[in-house]
Structure 1
Amino acid sequence: MMFRQVAATRIAAAGVVLALLPAMVRLPALAVLLVLAVLLVALNVVEHLRVERRVAERRDVEREVDPATERAVAARSPESAPGE
């Protein structure tokens, strides 16, 4: 996850804001506000997709079953009881 870590997406967004700063000084305040709002929404969408993808990857890894564990479960099941 990106929590309690340095996130490259946030550093990139901060870099974009710093790069646009000279232009923002000359633009009307509402235009600057719109640019910052669009940047913030884009940052949130990107981070949401990254977190969602990592959660899905972890879910897929947890679903994979170890073959040794699968054999142990099969050995304990009633269908495989000897004498039947």
Structure 2
Amino acid sequence: FWLEIYQADFSLRETSDNKLRGWRHLAVRVPSLEAAKVELESRGVAFPENVKPAGGGGRVLFFKDPEGNLLHLVERPTDFHA
């Protein structure tokens, strides 16, 4: 699939609550962080951070898209239910 993110035509006031300001980051669930990382690196994506434990179980890997949006891959245990 293809996902595009567009900047809004308006701004919201500064707040400490990210839920009021819009989205903070986008997570994409993958079956294998290693396989996804290899695929994305082959397409020029850089990963400035190492894999970290994910809240609720599993692992995450953060990176930024070319526009600076924060994205992350998340690998969950097979028995994980959101």
Q: TM > 0.5 between the two?
A: no
Q: Which has the higher strand share?
A: 2
**Superposition TM-score, scaled by structure 2 size:** 0.27
Q: Which has the higher helix share?
A: 1
Bigger relative CO (Cα 8 Å, ≥ 6 apart): 1
